Amino acid sequence: MSRALICGSMAYDTIMVFEDQFKNHILPNKVHMLNVSFLVPQMRREFGGCAGNIAYNLKLLGGHPIPMATVGQDFAPYREWFRSHAITLDHVREVPDTFTAQAFITTDQDNNQITAFHPGAMGCSQQNKVGDVSGVALGIVAPDGRDGMLQHARDFAAQGTPFIFDPGQAMPLFNGEEFRAFIEQADYVAANSYEASLLTERTGWSEIEIAAKVKAYIVTRGADGSIIHAGGKVHVIPSARPAAVVDPTGCGDAYRAGLLHGLLQGFDWPTTGRIASLMGALKIARPGTQNHGFTTDEFAVEYRRQFDRTLD
């Protein structure tokens, strides 16, 4: 059984829709004494966080994800959700007197957003140790508390477990020296094109130089697909055609689950990249980050339909 250890956040996203425009309620000459209240008749709460999303997607692919995260006293609904999907919670630690990380997002009719993010228990992620989990074939260090990310990467490298470094929204937390250390420790690095240009800026290393330090450097480019630099080769991975473009949030996490799955199955890069690509396209057709679903047979059929080749 090829188990994947997925270090990162587990979070709630509360999304509220203000059926008007913020600009009608925020007076530019009064912003120094802002005191506004928005009535939001629509509200939904989604299960999210990078580790949660990646684990959910890898489970859909038939994999064995082990999320490793710190959560708070309000975790019960999320726990039920993962139980119903038979995803292990053995390494999801509840930290007393904290809340699970959560974002409160208010969107208006112009698609402007006002967000508050409470990191909560995520800031304790260093309490979990990757060495406590046995039989791990592959890991990922996804966005999480700063100390936890540094420690988990160091520990994976020290114990010789291959892992993907996935800086994502945690890009602002680290300096050039820290990023250089992460890349030296990691076997794979995955970033979107914006994060990739920041990585180059911070480390002073070009995309080619970063690629030379890992087994693969994967750069995703939204609807334009992705590029995988591996073994001196550049694999251009096409995007898949989504049934609808509903919500791009979480495409990156869905893609990373595809990477983990392909690597664990020993597929070549063109295949692994296409699995990841299809995961992004299946995700984008549904709102939220964990509301899409399929069987592994349905996935194989869709893979053949999209790329005109079989998955085996």
Ligand X SMILES: Nc1ncnc2c1ncn2[C@@H]1O[C@H](COP(=O)(O)OP(=O)(O)OP(=O)(O)O)[C@@H](O)[C@H]1O
Which chain residues interact with ligand X by CB under 6 A?
Answer: 192, 220-223, 225-226, 239-240, 242, 245, 248-253, 255, 277, 280-281, 284
Q: Of the two residues 213 and 221, which places its CB atom closer to Mg ion in the complex? A: 221
Q: Render 142-208 in DSSP notation, one character per residue.
A: -S--HHHHHHHHHHHHHHT--EEE--GGGGGG--HHHHHHHHHH-SEEEEEHHHHHHHHHHH---HH
Specify whether the CB–CB gap between 254 and 239 falls below 8 A: no
> With CB cut-offs between 5 and 8 Å by kind, which of Mg ion, ligand X, none does residue 128 bind?
none
Residue 8, interface with Mg ion (CB under 5 A)? no
Q: Of the two residues 91 and 235, which places its CB atom closer to ligand X in the complex? A: 235
> With CB cut-offs between 5 and 8 Å by kind, which of Mg ion, ligand X, none does residue 248 bind?
ligand X
Torsion, CA 297, CA 4, CA 77, CA 294, rounded to 10: -10
Q: How far is the CB of 224 from ligand X (least distance, A)?
A: 8
Q: How far is the CB of 305 from Mg ion (least distance, A)?
A: 26
Q: Of the two residues 93 and 221, which places its CB atom closer to ligand X in the complex? A: 221
Residue 225, interface with Mg ion (CB under 5 A)? no
> With CB cut-offs between 5 and 8 Å by kind, which of Mg ion, ligand X, none does residue 52 bind?
none
Stretch that binds Mg ion, among 70-78, 133-141, 143-151, 161-169 (CB under 5 A): 161-169
Q: Of the two residues 145 and 252, which places its CB atom closer to Mg ion in the complex? A: 252
Beta strands in the chain (DSSP E): 3-7, 11-17, 42-48, 64-71, 92-94, 101-107, 113-118, 136-141, 163-165, 188-192, 216-220, 226-230, 233-237
What is the DSSP pairing of strand 188-192 with strand 226-230?
A: unpaired
Taking CB positions, which residue lies at the least distance from Mg ion? 252
Structure token pair of residue 216: 């693969």
> With CB cut-offs between 5 and 8 Å by kind, which of ligand X, Mg ion, none does residue 249 bind?
ligand X
CB atoms within 10 A of CB 63: 20
Q: Of the two residues 158 and 245, which places its CB atom closer to ligand X in the complex? A: 245
Q: How far is the CB of 218 from Mg ion (least distance, A)?
A: 12
Among 52, 72, 252, 262, binds Mg ion (CB under 5 A): 252
Quote the CA–CA distance of 2 and 192 in Å, as a whole number. Answer: 26
Radius of gyration of the chain, Cα coordinates, nearest whole angstrom: 20
Structure token pair of residue 223: 């609807």
Stretch that binds Mg ion, among 77-85, 142-150, 151-159, 248-256 (CB under 5 A): 248-256
